[in-house]
């Protein structure tokens, strides 16, 4: 009903009803009913399109909404956050958004950011609560409480929570009900099209009023004057603009989803064609994220490689999904007894998480029989070396080995262990007396499509920058294989030392950034933006969210990305593949290209229609176009611009053009000039046909049929001319566009019926059209096609402006 009400408020619908009412007063029941039918069809088409759009958007919202990991029927499963219900057992992991208000049944080192609800930026510690008494939910805030709240963020640790409240009953739900009344600012394209429609409506309204007054005063027939004014108003109102924009944005989001890319904000589609820099991480985006142990180097003091791998597994999360930890577990699974033999008889008593100031993590295990405690650590080689207090000789061996392994493209972790005598555990990892065991190198092969995709970005004027936490030598090896320039690699330490001016200068020539902390990504994005770049940025972690939000186009990883990264982004890649990012840029450029073609066609086709509605009023000729004719033409124009142009294939030079300016207008001055040139030539041609018919003394009904058929064929020529700017007509005709030929067939069929079936001829007030008249109409359409095809090459710059 909301969609129907919106349609009923449209000016075009009011004009159709007004014309129908006038025909009813004139006693022409048939034309009145036909116009009512056209109005009904218009409403139906809009309702169907809007409903389909809503369904597409609902499906996309389901995919992009925060996910929840729940336990149902004893099985873990990922579901949409909106599907969580009271009583669900929800597993909370680092980086997750809490999907509902809940009480913790279990918690391990759990910290939550509740600033969304409390305004306090410091995370609060959570503990498990008593599940038997079902305590009442408290308000957000406060340390060591068992309550977690929907929308808050897990910044560390993990937990199991039982859902108590969802939706409007949750804390954030009550806030959301108040926020629901706040309107969001529409995207730039939407504002631009609304402005164009308003301008055209004002101009059309003034012209229609003047035409009615002029016709009525000169001829004294005010009903006919009103009909002529309505026809002129209908001809000048480009009401297709909002419809086309909606159709293109929704279909664009749907086409991107077919490429396994979800669009969370329509404005991202506008910006895709403007991207000048694409910042991408390495693991899982440029590479396959399929880690395996490639090499193990043991320290001189270590017994065997098996000891090193066992220690690395004990330093990992159990049943982990992290690629390197899975690779370690897979190596152990190949040994007799597998991982269960290693875990048997041991209890995990403490975990020390990875911290920015110390890139290492430690798990502390206690053996059941004798109570002995073993601390197992893994992390960045330099961090593990720091924990072990290595002497100069062993530190040199460490650096040399890491360099050699990294140059081979391996990602390297150091491993250490420490026996603890018992009693109270240290408060920090540095409190253990670690022994250095050695290094583990992991390989992650480059995705096969990456070099070609990087080459396509280069030809499109899009610079690719790789940002990774890996060792510089590893990063450079992968970057070289991907086809990136590796000269001038910048490391995280150097980045920290550079001031803003120095960083802006270094960014001009550096494409590889290694050993970068997540929080440094935001600084890189801001520096690139300060250099005038339009930045697309990929990310997956909690700490990537500021950079994703700051970038013009934030791209989150759907497979391994956290909910907060997905929420901060405008685009989500379901397959985490770099090739999908390039396909997204290509699709974004195509969508914008086709949208401009449709807009140019709309402006062009309205010029001859408005001219034919105005000329008889000015010069006293018989009315050629009445509201019923214009309503019929609108039935051709609407699907042409919203379906045919949307389905057009890529331009041949689509990925060989430089990125367009983000400030470029959908209907720039040059583009408007091209549209008016097309429309002006079309008006001159159809006016010449009209004048020729008058000179031959054709009856009014035959003249109307001649001019109308000529106008329809010229309309077809305008569609063909605007299909492509980079290709000739012959090349464009060979492109596959089923929608075009379906529309052409439908137009030909309906036109044949209106010219040969007596009831239709009477309805449209057509006389018989002879072969020589039909030849003249075909010649008019062909002439427009040929002339505009000859002129078009000189206007190609307008299309790219």
Q: What does the alpha-carbon distance between residue 213 and residue 225 come to, in Å, rounded to a whole number?
A: 7
Q: 295 CB contacts (<8 Å, ≥6 apart)?
A: 405, 408, 410, 439, 440, 441
487 band by pLDDT with thresholds 50, 70 and 90: confident
- pLDDT score at 3: 62
- pLDDT score at 437: 94
Q: What is the DSSP string of 332-384?
A: HHTSTTHHHHHHTTEEEEEEE--BTTB-EEEEEEEETTT--EEEEEEE-HHHH
Q: Average pLDDT of 60-66? A: 54
- pLDDT score at 35: 59
In DSSP terms, 358 is beta-bridged to 355
Q: What does the alpha-carbon distance between residue 693 and residue 709 come to, in Å, rounded to a whole number?
A: 13
φ, ψ for residue 711 (rounded to 5)? -65, -40
Most confidently predicted of 9-18, 73-82, 202-211: 73-82
- pLDDT score at 571: 85
pLDDT tens-digit series, residues 523-539:
999 999 999 899 999 87
Q: Which structure tokens are listed for 110?
A: 């759990």
pLDDT tens-digit series, residues 429-472:
999 999 999 999 988 888 888 999 999 999 999 999 999 888 78
Where is pLDDT greater, at 626 or 745? 745
- pLDDT score at 709: 94
Confidence check: pLDDT of 347 > 80: yes
pLDDT tens-digit series, residues 657-676:
888 877 777 777 888 899 99
Long-range pairs for 389-395: beta carbons < 8 A, 24 or more residues apart:
390/436, 394/299, 394/436
- pLDDT score at 90: 94
Q: What does the alpha-carbon distance between residue 400 and residue 402 come to, in Å, rounded to a whole number?
A: 6
182 band by pLDDT with thresholds 50, 70 and 90: very low
Confidence check: pLDDT of 1 > 80: no
Q: 350 CB contacts (<8 Å, ≥6 apart)?
A: 363, 364, 425
pLDDT tens-digit series, residues 377-404:
999 999 999 999 998 999 999 999 998 9
Q: Average pLDDT of 42-59? A: 58
Confidence check: pLDDT of 178 > 70: no
Mean pLDDT of the chain: 81
Buried b / exposed e along 688-705 (16+ C-beta atoms within 10 A): ebbeebeeeebeebbbbb
Q: Average pLDDT of 6-28? A: 61
pLDDT tens-digit series, residues 281-296:
887 788 887 788 989 9
- pLDDT score at 750: 87
Confidence check: pLDDT of 578 > 90: no
Q: Average pLDDT of 194-206? A: 71
Confidence check: pLDDT of 328 > 60: yes
Q: Which structure tokens are listed for 195?
A: 């402005």
Asked whether the beta carbons of 462 and 659 are under 8 A apart, the reply is: yes
- pLDDT score at 183: 43
- pLDDT score at 369: 72
Percent of the chain having pLDDT more than 90?
26
Based on the number of CB atoms within 10 Å of its own CB, is 299 exposed (0-12), middle (13-18) or buried (19 or more)? buried
The pTM score is: 0.69
Residue that has been written with the tokens 């609902």 in this structure:
58
End-to-end CA distance of the chain: 41
Q: What does the alpha-carbon distance between residue 625 and residue 611 come to, in Å, rounded to a whole number?
A: 10
Q: Average pLDDT of 182-190? A: 52
Asked whether the beta carbons of 525 and 513 are under 8 A apart, the reply is: no
- pLDDT score at 235: 60
pLDDT tens-digit series, residues 680-696:
999 999 999 999 999 99
Length of the chain: 801
298 band by pLDDT with thresholds 50, 70 and 90: very high
The separation between CA 447 and the C-alpha centre of its own chain, rounded to angstroms, equals 23
132 band by pLDDT with thresholds 50, 70 and 90: very low
- pLDDT score at 439: 95
Asked whether the beta carbons of 693 and 622 are under 8 A apart, the reply is: no
Q: What does the alpha-carbon distance between residue 294 and residue 465 come to, in Å, rounded to a whole number?
A: 26
The dihedral built from the CA positions of residue 739, 741, 746 and 747, taken in this order, carries a sign that is positive
- pLDDT score at 584: 85
Q: 707 CB contacts (<8 Å, ≥6 apart)?
A: 612, 624, 686, 689, 690, 693
């Amino acid at each position: 009903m909301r969609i129907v009400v919106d349609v009923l408020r449209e000016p075009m619908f009011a004009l159709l009803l007004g014309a129908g009412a006038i025909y009813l007063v004139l006693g022409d029941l048939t034309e009145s009913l036909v116009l009512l039918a056209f109005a009904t069809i218009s409403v139906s088409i809009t309702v169907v399109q809007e409903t389909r759009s809503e369904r597409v958007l609902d499906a996309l919202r389901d995919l992009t909404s925060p996910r929840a990991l729940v336990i149902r029927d004893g099985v873990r499963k990922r579901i949409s956050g909106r599907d969580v219900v009271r009583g669900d057992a929800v597993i909370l992991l680092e980086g997750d958004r809490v999907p509902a208000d809940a009480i913790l049944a279990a918690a391990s080192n759990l910290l939550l950011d509740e600033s969304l609800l409390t305004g306090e930026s410091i995370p609060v510690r959570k503990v498990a609560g008593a599940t038997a008494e079902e305590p009442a939910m408290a308000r957000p805030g406060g340390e060591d409480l068992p309550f977690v709240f929907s929308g808050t963020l897990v910044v560390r640790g993990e937990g199991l929570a039982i859902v108590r409240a969802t939706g409007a009953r949750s804390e954030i739900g009550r806030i959301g009900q108040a926020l629901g009344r706040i309107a969001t600012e529409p995207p730039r394209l939407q504002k631009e099209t609304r402005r164009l429609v308003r301008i055209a409506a004002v101009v059309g309204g003034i012209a229609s009023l003047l035409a009615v007054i002029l016709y009525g005063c000169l001829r004294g027939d005010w009903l006919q004057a009103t009909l002529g004014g309505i026809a002129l108003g209908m001809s000048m109102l480009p009401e297709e603009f909002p419809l086309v924009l909606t159709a293109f944005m929704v279909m664009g989001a749907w086409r991107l989803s077919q490429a396994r890319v979800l669009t969370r904000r329509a404005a991202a589609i506008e910006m895709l064609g403007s991207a000048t820099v694409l910042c991408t991480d390495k693991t899982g985006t440029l590479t396959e994220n399929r880690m395996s142990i490639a090499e193990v180097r043991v320290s001189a003091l270590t017994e065997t490689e098996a000891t090193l791998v066992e220690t690395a597994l004990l330093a990992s999360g159990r049943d982990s999904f992290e690629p390197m930890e899975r690779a370690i577990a897979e190596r152990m699974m190949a040994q007799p007894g597998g991982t269960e033999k290693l875990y048997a008889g041991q209890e995990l008593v403490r975990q020390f998480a990875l911290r920015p100031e110390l890139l290492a993590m430690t798990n502390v295990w206690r053996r059941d029989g004798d109570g002995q405690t073993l601390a197992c650590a893994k992390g960045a080689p330099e961090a593990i070396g720091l924990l072990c207090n290595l002497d100069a000789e062993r530190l040199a061996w460490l650096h040399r080995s890491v360099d050699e392994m990294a140059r081979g493209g391996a990602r390297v972790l150091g491993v250490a262990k420490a026996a603890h005598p018992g009693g109270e555990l240290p408060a920090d990892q540095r409190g253990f007396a670690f022994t250095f065991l050695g290094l583990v190198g992991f390989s992650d092969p480059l995705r096969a499509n990456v070099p070609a995709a990087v080459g396509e970005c280069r030809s499109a004027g899009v610079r690719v920058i790789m940002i990774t936490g890996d060792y510089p030598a590893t990063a450079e090896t992968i970057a070289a294989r991907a086809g990136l320039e590796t000269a001038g690699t910048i490391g995280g330490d150097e980045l920290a030392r550079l001031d803003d001016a120095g960083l802006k200068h270094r960014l001009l020539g550096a494409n590889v950034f290694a050993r970068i902390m997540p929080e440094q990504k935001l600084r890189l994005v801001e520096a690139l933006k300060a250099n005038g770049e339009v930045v697309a940025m990929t990310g997956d972690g909690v700490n990537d969210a500021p950079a994703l939000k700051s970038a013009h186009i934030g791209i989150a990883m759907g497979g391994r990305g956290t909910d907060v990264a997905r929420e901060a982004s405008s685009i989500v890649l379901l397959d985490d593949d770099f090739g999908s990012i390039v396909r997204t840029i290509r699709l974004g450029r195509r969508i914008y290209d086709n949208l401009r073609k449709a807009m140019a066609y709309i402006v062009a086709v309205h010029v001859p229609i408005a001219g034919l509605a105005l000329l008889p009023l000015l010069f006293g000729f018989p009315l050629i176009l009445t509201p019923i004719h214009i309503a019929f033409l609108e039935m051709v124009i609407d699907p042409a611009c919203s379906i045919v142009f949307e389905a057009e294939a890529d331009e041949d030079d689509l990925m060989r053009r430089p990125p367009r300016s983000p400030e470029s207008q959908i209907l720039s001055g040059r583009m408007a000039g091209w549209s008016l040139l097309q429309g002006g030539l079309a008006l001159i041609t159809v006016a010449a046909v009209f004048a020729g018919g008058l000179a031959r003394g054709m009856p009014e009904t035959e003249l109307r049929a001649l001019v109308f058929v000529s106008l329809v064929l010229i309309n077809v020529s305008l569609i063909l001319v605007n299909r492509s700017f980079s290709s000739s007509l012959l090349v464009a005709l060979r492109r596959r566009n089923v929608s075009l030929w379906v529309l052409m067939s439908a137009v030909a069929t309906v036109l044949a019926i209106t010219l040969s079936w007596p009831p239709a001829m009477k309805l449209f007030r057509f006389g018989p059209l002879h072969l020589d008249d039909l030849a003249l109409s075909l010649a008019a359409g062909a002439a427009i096609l040929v002339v505009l095809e000859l002129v078009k090459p000189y206007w190609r710059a307008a299309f790219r402006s």
